[in-house]
Amino acid sequence: MFDFSVVTKWIDTGLHNSMSPFWATVAEMLIIGVAILVFYALIGLFLVYAERKVCAFMQNRLGPNRVGPFGMFQTVADLTKLLFVELVPIKNADKFLFNLAPFIVIIASFMAIGAIPFALGLHAIDLNIGVLYVIAVSAMGVIGILLAGWSSNNKYSLIGAMRSGAQIVSYELSVGLALITIVILAGTMQLSQIVEGQSDGWFIFKGHIPAFIAFVIFLIASTAETNRGPFDLAEAESELTAGYHTEYSGIKFAFFFLAEYMNMFIVAAIAATVFLGGWMPFHIRGWDEFNQVMDYIPTFIWFIGKTFFVVWLMMWFKWTFPRLRIDQLLTLEWKYLLPINLVNVLIMALMVLLGWHF
Amino acid sequence: MRSIYNYLKDIFQGVWSLLKGLQVTGKYFFSPGKIVTQKYPNNRKDLVMFERFKGEVVMPHNEKNEHKCTGCGICEINCPNGSIEIISKMITTDDGKKKKAIEKHIYRLSMCTFCALCVKTCPSNALAFSQEFEHAVFNRALLIKVLNKPGSQLMKGVEL
């Protein structure tokens, strides 16, 4: 397995040799910021394209096929258009909050991406409470959505924002509890150690039934948390035109749009890290030759592959299920997911206590 | 006890029905079968429109340049937008009778909503829809069409 920390160490020592420790740290932060920014934009563009293609294939269509080979530059063209679109100023809107909201949404997803281990040694910040940090930070995005709805001075926006608030408040619980189930099994909240703990089998296999239930619940709840279909009540095109971002245009709208897809990526990355082993190759305890063969595939490929598998699952959900009504949404959470989840945490704790996991 | 049974039944039935839905879309994703997308400008040459398609109103003529329009004006009366106008003339038939016939059957494509009332109500089935749909022109006047071809005559046997 190639260790990316060789590269990062080399950059680190190089910077420390040429400037004072303070400026070296500043330069490192800048490099990481720019790298994540570029990654963010590329993944965002790719996900929009992938979503359109996946949706098309599920409906027996072709999807974008005009701009470039297989329509690959469609999203680049769309983004270029969005950059040139006029930013329409809204009368009677709360100007400051209106302009602040897209940044809060994008900063929240930006902060979450910093804590995700992309490959062996490619990890911007390894907090010892990584899981808690990611949940806390990714939940901050809803503040941006609420601000956008409130400051737009528009009924559709406000209703969309309030729905989003109710949704996050309820589904955040399920996301947290589903992750806690695995934290019990792993015995740590540090994401790098969670990945290390899966070196002899991913947690979804090690924890078998409760881990699988937790994975399914995490998928449902995190789909709801990112405001994607079938839980896209906050946007609900057919009811609220565009929900909380009705009044936004141009690059501000692009921020919301990009943040939605990035949140999907982040949630999928967390699911991949916690349940499917992150960058850890597919290992089976005792099969040493098999494990060595698996190690030849780069860790970054493993991570991206798993993440896109989860992303694909979420797209599959979106293009299969109809949108829930608000009462059905809350019923699903409070009457079904939450009780199942609490029992599941108990079962997992028992299992770890009695050593019934692999 | 009953309620707990129902609760669990609800969950399993719900999951089962969701899986059924996922199965349908998943099957399409991996084996799309017939792709319905038409790559229009590329397949322009062999594009076949379906029979029900309402492109524009035409008056079919046979090979002897004869049509079935008697000039009764029912299409003109029935048209909700006034896009049809019939200019008629009086002709003398071979046996010396005076009869009404069409001079021009004017059809304004720009005003037509393709409601098909003219085609449906025509007593002699003189009108039909063609499958032509590329209507763009550079001059608005080109959208005013005369449906009967120059020199055309009424088909024998349509009018008793």
Given pLDDT bands bounded at 50, 70 and 90, which one contains residue B138? very high
Provide the β-strand partners of residue B45: none
Instruction: Find the mean pLDDT for residues A14-25.
Output: 83
pLDDT of residue B29: 85
Radius of gyration (Cα) for chain A, nearest Å? 21
Nearest CB to B25; choose among A58, A62, A340: A58
Contact A61 B34 (CB under 8 A): no
**Topology classification of domain B56-154:** Alpha-Beta Plaits (3.30.70)
Which of A7-11, A113-117, A290-294, A309-313 shows the lowest per-residue confidence on average (mean pLDDT)?
A290-294
- pLDDT 10s digits, B80-129: 988 999 888 888 877 777 888 888 889 998 899 988 899 999 888 888 88
Three-state DSSP state, A137: helix
| pTM, two decimal places | 0.80
List the structure tokens of A90: 């809204």
Q: What pLDDT is attached to residue A154?
A: 83
pLDDT per residue as tens digits for the range A38-78: 888 888 888 888 888 888 888 888 888 888 788 888 888 88
The secondary structure of chain B as a DSSP string is -HHHHHHHHHHHHHHHHHHHHHHHHHHHHH---S-----TTTTSTT----TT---EEE----TTSEE------HHHHH-TT--EEEEEEEEE-TTS-EEEEEEEEEEEGGG-----HHHHH-TT---EEE-------SSGGGGEEE-SPTT-EEPTTS--
β-strands B56-58, B84-92 pairing: unpaired
Whether A356 has a pLDDT exceeding 90, the answer reads: no
Check A340 against B39: CB less than 8 A apart.
no
Count of CB pairs separated by less than 8 Å, A with B: 38
Average pLDDT of the segment spanning A251-279: 86
Which has more confidence, A249 or B108? B108
Q: Which of A53, A55, A60 is most worth mutating to test chain B (most B CB atoms within 10 A of its CB)?
A: A60
CA distance B12 to chain A (A): 11
Nearest CB partner across the interface for B35, out of A61, A316, A319: A61
- The full set of domain ranges for chain A reads 91-354
Which residue out of A53, A54, A62 would a mutagenesis test of the B interface target, given it has the greatest number of B Cβ atoms within 10 Å? A62
At position A157, the amino acid (one-letter code) is: S
Q: Where are the domains of chain B?
A: 1-36, 56-154
What was the pLDDT predicted at A29? 86
DSSP-H helix ranges across A119-226: 130-138, 141-151, 155-186, 191-196, 203-206, 208-225
Q: What pLDDT was estimated at residue B160? A: 62
Quickly state the pLDDT bin for B50 (edges 50, 70, 90). confident
CB contact (8 A) between residue A60 and residue B22 = no
**Considering only CA atoms, which of A241, A266, A94, A221 is closest in space to residue A160?**
A241
B2/A contact by beta carbon, under 8 A: no
The pLDDT tens digits of the residues spanning A274-320 come to 888 878 787 777 777 777 777 787 888 888 888 999 999 888 888 88
Nearest CA in chain B to A58: B29
Please provide residue B107's backbone torsions phi and psi, each rounded to the nearest 5 degrees.
-125, 120
Strand partners of residue B100:
B90
List, for residues A140-189, the tens digit of each pLDDT value. 888 888 888 888 888 888 888 888 888 888 888 888 888 888 888 888 88
Nearest to B26 among A59, A316, A336 (CB): A316
Mean pLDDT of chain A: 84
- Asked if A336 and B11 come within 8 Å (Cβ–Cβ), the reply is yes
**ipTM entry:** 0.71
Q: What pLDDT does residue B16 have?
A: 92
Q: Residues A326, A165: contact at Cβ < 8 Å?
A: no
Given B10, B22, B36, which is nearest A61 (Cβ)?
A: B36
